[in-house]
Chains A and B, each alone.
Chain A
Amino acid sequence: MRGIRLALPVLVIASLLVTPVFTSGAPRSSWDAKACGRVGGTLVFGQAQDAVTLDPADATDGFSVNNTSNVFDTLVRFTATGTQVEPSLAESWTVSPDGLVWNFKLRRGVRFHDGTPFNAQAAEFSFLRQFDKKHPYHHGTFEYAEFTLESVKSIEAVGADTLRFTLKAPNASFLAMLAMFSNAISSPTAIKKYGKDYFKHPTGTGPFKFVEWVQKDHVTYEANKEYWGGRPCVDRLIIRGIPDNTVRLLEMEKGSIQMMDQVNPPDYARIRGNANLVLFTGPGLNVGYIAMNVEKEPFNDVRVRRAVNYSVNKPALVRAFYEGIGQPAKNPMPPTIWGYNDAVKPYEYNPEKARQMLAEAGYPNGITTELWWPNRARPYLTQPQKIAEALQQQLAKGGIRAKLVTFEWGTYLSKTRNGEHPMAILGWIGDNGDPDNFLYVLLDKDNANKGSASNIAFYKSNAVHDLLIKAQRTSNQSQRAAYYRQAQTIIHEDAPWVPLVHAARVGAYRKEVENFFLHPLQIWWLHRVWIAK
């Protein structure tokens, strides 16, 4: 009796620490909002490249991820329209009071596409093969495992139903990391059977089953009618790689593909003017920015950095190069992420003020420097050369004479990570909707080490660092949001960057495609899409 009397309060306290709790009479998933309007048919999605690999743990490019995300599930997943996290292969989870031990209760009765059962042992195997370098099936480079599972000390199956993660330090964004594509669960039987060729035989628990890969051309999938989340609406899914944006659009106009990614901005009008086609736009989870190397003169002076900010006319850039789709940025992270500080007052476009500030800082005749730009179109930098030229002109009016310097993508990344630039244009695409994924990675002093810096402004602020670490260690979201808002205020004042733009995410499809929503993470989940007659 005494045992029970003690146990009850402990249970109550423990359950208060559970974040969040879902019981098995679970509320409907955000993905089930609409039932299939029509079941059947073949859906063809054309993207700019065929998959590089179909092993989700080894993928690094969006084209591979668009494929694997339709075949595999993760323990937890992002909601259908946002970056909050909901149950998937894990029905519920608990976390210990010190934030170090996470126990995930796994869904029962789920099978992999090869018929073998999904359970804690399978999940453990799937994680260990990417996490443990000595694992016999560690075939691949698993780049994303390095950073998503960075805070993990150990992973073990407890019984058949529970998977336990022990962390090295509390990490509030851990759930968001687990929802990422690289942490999808693969069938151990298939991994053992195919060994190094597993990347060509993806076997998961997801809505689509792999049929065939004609490499560098297309991948064919068929519906998994036994999918635990309800069968997908279409019977077959084909994902094709068509490199040229114009040719891809022509194929869609002709009807040989029904959906496409990466539309050329000049084609937006063409699509909108075509009654058979639909253009999807939504806010993107990215940022394009100019980073000023605060370790190089004159950018060690905050007045100079602010002067640069006053010289840039962001609305003009958005109108000219993003076809109006996209918004000027005032913070390092986009408004779609919780914790965004809308109270920050942006530096307005004012070249006169820029010149004044430069004079105050001791440069009455302005400054001469370099503006580096990457020679590769990115979602946040649609036409790199033209944008760099426009910026050069804008900066000149503010008294900043910048010579344009460029390198090809790989070289550019190397050099900027090594801090060789005075000012460089770059960007970031969010992985999981967590503010830490932007602010810590891009502006924390931990990431400002020459040679490997993701903080290419080399901005080292102790105040910001303290806030970001505190935010990592607490799982109370509103507390975290408060820390992140404070950090954004400090960053804005210190102005190590000129945040330029948050590019919209864009996709296009034929009008007979229904219930499509391009997720903020720009992953093309297609199992709830159907084709109307």
Chain B
Amino acid sequence: MTRYIGRRLLETVPVVFGVLLVVFVIAHLTPGDPVLIALGEHATPEAVEALRAELQLNDPLPVAFLKYMGRVLRGDLGRSIQNNERVTVELATRFPATIELSLAAMLIASLIGIFTGVLAAVRQNSWFDGVSMFAALFGFSMPIFWLGIMLILLFAWLLGWFPISGRLDFTVELTRVTNLYLVDAVLTGNWAALGNALRHLVLPAVTLSTVPLAIIARMTRSSLLEVLRQDYVRTARAKGLTESRVVRRHALKNAFIPVITVIGLNVGGLLSGAILTETIFAWPGVGRLVVDAIFARDYPIVQGTVFVIALVFVAVNLLVDVSYAYLDPRIRYG
């Protein structure tokens, strides 16, 4: 197993390198000059030229790429063109917001999704099955933008149960350690902040969870149904075990393998920035950062963000693969 993990870790190097190369080339070859965009309708030819030189945007592409790779290997992701902030610092302030939102959304999606899927499979063709699968389809088809605003209108604006947008009321003091507000609140024993942060988290997390929830519910259901048809399950039933025991001890673990895959893929997807949700709820995460950077042609930010996302994706997928071995003893890595 260790050798397997070791080999997988080595494989991440060419993967991440390839990702960086592609992003670098696409970003730089896209028409649009960051300096021109910064100046907008304003810009004298002299100004544009002067700034391009300052930002070293005039290097030929291969040279620029090699210089960039050199810096990355030393842990330097460069500085934002828009405000000269170190990319690592920008990411460090924004990623925790996205992590918090994504994990909360995944938690909701997984718990409710798996629970619903299992129940639907066990009570196949019952009213619960029909209603829950319909609801899942509904959630999957709903445009997130619309759903988010609807939730705000109903629960925040009309009923006032939750705040409308943001991560924390500015009236609440919180010492930021990790920038994960829930963690920081617990670490500093600041219960008022914990409550406030949780209230802000609910609506965006629910909005973001709807699509993964639907996928997980349906996946769980069909996977479990598939497993329940297997011979060993029939054997277990024949041996006289209760249905609940059959499901819990014998069927679930195996049914989860495709579900874990789906969860893993979704976590990677969510961490890349839930751009729509972040926009509606004014959630200061990575999604908006990278989209704004693309429009501004802020190459260092775009490249740095994609680099980190690639690393995250690779790590999550490795975790998923390793978990297979735990779930199904027949799977062994050499």
Q: List CB contacts (< 8 Å) of A109-163 with chain B.
A: 133, 139-141, 143-144, 146-147, 150
Q: List CB contacts (< 8 Å) of B9-27 with chain A.
A: none
Asked if A413 lies at the interface with its beta carbon under 8 angstroms from chain B, I say yes
- From known contacts A146-B46, A146-B47, A414-B32, infer whether A216 and B93 are also in contact, taking CB-CB under 8 Å: yes
Q: Could you tell me if B295 and A247 are in contact, using CB atoms closer than 8 angstroms?
A: no
Taken together as a complex, chains A and B put the C-alpha atoms of A200 and B85 apart, in Å, by: 9
Taken together as a complex, chains A and B put the C-alpha atoms of A216 and B282 apart, in Å, by: 9
**Residues of B in contact with A, size category:** 35 or more
What chain B residues lie within 8 Å of A243 (beta carbons)? Answer: 279-280, 282, 288
Taken together as a complex, chains A and B put the C-alpha atoms of A336 and B160 apart, in Å, by: 43
Q: Could you tell me if A141 and B295 are in contact, using CB atoms closer than 8 angstroms?
A: no
Q: Could you tell me if A431 and B42 are in contact, using CB atoms closer than 8 angstroms?
A: yes
Q: List CB contacts (< 8 Å) of A394-412 with chain B.
A: 407-411
Chain A residue at minimal CB-CB distance from B285: A216
Chain B residue at minimal CB-CB distance from A146: B47
Taken together as a complex, chains A and B put the C-alpha atoms of A445 and B46 apart, in Å, by: 15
Judged by DSSP, the binding face of A is: mixed
Chain A, residues 203-239, CB within 8 Å of chain B (1/0): the string is: 0000000000011111010000000000000000010
Shortest CB distance B214–A (Å): 24
What chain A residues lie within 8 Å of B258 (beta carbons)? Answer: none
Chain B, residues 151-188, CB within 8 Å of chain A (1/0): the string is: 01100110010011111001000000000000000000
Asked if A251 lies at the interface with its beta carbon under 8 angstroms from chain B, I say yes
Taken together as a complex, chains A and B put the C-alpha atoms of A368 and B160 apart, in Å, by: 56
Shortest CB distance A280–B (Å): 22
Given contacts A140-B83, A147-B47, A217-B166, 8 further A-B contacts (CB under 8 A): A52-B82, A133-B54, A214-B284, A216-B94, A216-B288, A413-B37, A428-B41, A454-B43
What chain A residues lie within 8 Å of B48 (beta carbons)? Answer: 452
Q: Could you tell me if B85 and A454 are in contact, using CB atoms closer than 8 angstroms?
A: no
Q: Could you tell me if A216 and B166 are in contact, using CB atoms closer than 8 angstroms?
A: no
Question: Which residue in A139, A150, A238, A427 is a CB contact (below 8 Å) of B44?
Answer: A150
Q: Could you tell me if B32 and A250 are in contact, using CB atoms closer than 8 angstroms?
A: no
Taken together as a complex, chains A and B put the C-alpha atoms of A251 and B130 apart, in Å, by: 38
- Among A141, A244, A254, A414, max chain B CB count under 10 A is at A141
Residues of B whose CB lies within 8 Å of any CB of A are: 30-51, 54-55, 79, 81-85, 93-94, 149, 152-153, 156-157, 160, 163-167, 170, 279-282, 284, 288-289, 292, 295-297
Taken together as a complex, chains A and B put the C-alpha atoms of A415 and B93 apart, in Å, by: 35
Question: Which residue in B54, B160, B280, B292 is a CB contact (below 8 Å) of A247?
Answer: B280
- Among A49, A238, A246, A413, max chain B CB count under 10 A is at A413
Q: List CB contacts (< 8 Å) of A420-458 with chain B.
A: 426-429, 431, 441, 447, 449, 451-452, 454
Q: Could you tell me if A454 and B41 are in contact, using CB atoms closer than 8 angstroms?
A: yes
Q: Could you tell me if A414 and B33 are in contact, using CB atoms closer than 8 angstroms?
A: yes
Shortest CB distance A317–B (Å): 20
- From known contacts A141-B54, A242-B165, infer whether A452 and B44 are also in contact, taking CB-CB under 8 Å: yes
- From known contacts A220-B170, A250-B164, A413-B36, infer whether A199 and B51 are also in contact, taking CB-CB under 8 Å: no
Shortest CB distance B14–A (Å): 31
Residues of A whose CB lies within 8 Å of any CB of B are: 44, 49-50, 52-53, 55, 58, 60, 133, 139-141, 143-144, 146-147, 150, 196, 199-200, 214-218, 220, 238, 240-244, 246-247, 250-251, 253-254, 256, 407-411, 413-415, 417, 426-429, 431, 441, 447, 449, 451-452, 454
What chain A residues lie within 8 Å of B55 (beta carbons)? Answer: 141
What chain B residues lie within 8 Å of A140 (beta carbons)? Answer: 83-84
- Among A53, A247, A256, A447, max chain B CB count under 10 A is at A247
What chain B residues lie within 8 Å of A415 (beta carbons)? Answer: 31
Chain B residue at minimal CB-CB distance from A199: B83
Q: Could you tell me if B295 and A410 are in contact, using CB atoms closer than 8 angstroms?
A: yes
Q: Could you tell me if A247 and B47 are in contact, using CB atoms closer than 8 angstroms?
A: no
Question: Which residue in A139, A238, A250, A441 is a CB contact (below 8 Å) of B170?
Answer: A238
Q: Could you tell me if B282 and A139 are in contact, using CB atoms closer than 8 angstroms?
A: no
Q: Could you tell me if A58 and B47 are in contact, using CB atoms closer than 8 angstroms?
A: no
Q: Could you tell me if A452 and B41 are in contact, using CB atoms closer than 8 angstroms?
A: no
Q: Could you tell me if B51 and A143 are in contact, using CB atoms closer than 8 angstroms?
A: yes
Taken together as a complex, chains A and B put the C-alpha atoms of A218 and B172 apart, in Å, by: 13
Contact sample, A vs B, 17 pairs, CB 8 Å cutoff: A52-B82, A60-B40, A141-B35, A143-B39, A143-B42, A215-B284, A238-B170, A241-B284, A246-B149, A247-B149, A247-B164, A250-B156, A407-B31, A410-B33, A413-B41, A429-B41, A451-B45
Taken together as a complex, chains A and B put the C-alpha atoms of A139 and B49 apart, in Å, by: 17
Q: Could you tell me if A240 and B170 are in contact, using CB atoms closer than 8 angstroms?
A: yes
Chain B residue at minimal CB-CB distance from A196: B84
Q: Could you tell me if B31 and A58 are in contact, using CB atoms closer than 8 angstroms?
A: no
Taken together as a complex, chains A and B put the C-alpha atoms of A8 and B284 apart, in Å, by: 65
Shortest CB distance B84–A (Å): 5
Chain B residue at minimal CB-CB distance from A415: B31
Q: Could you tell me if A199 and B84 are in contact, using CB atoms closer than 8 angstroms?
A: yes
Which 4 pairs between the two chains have the least Cβ-Cβ distance? A410-B32, A146-B47, A216-B284, A452-B45
Shortest CB distance A40–B (Å): 16
Taken together as a complex, chains A and B put the C-alpha atoms of A44 and B170 apart, in Å, by: 10
- From known contacts A215-B93, A244-B282, A441-B42, infer whether A409 and B84 are also in contact, taking CB-CB under 8 Å: no
What chain B residues lie within 8 Å of A449 (beta carbons)? Answer: 45
Shortest CB distance B286–A (Å): 10
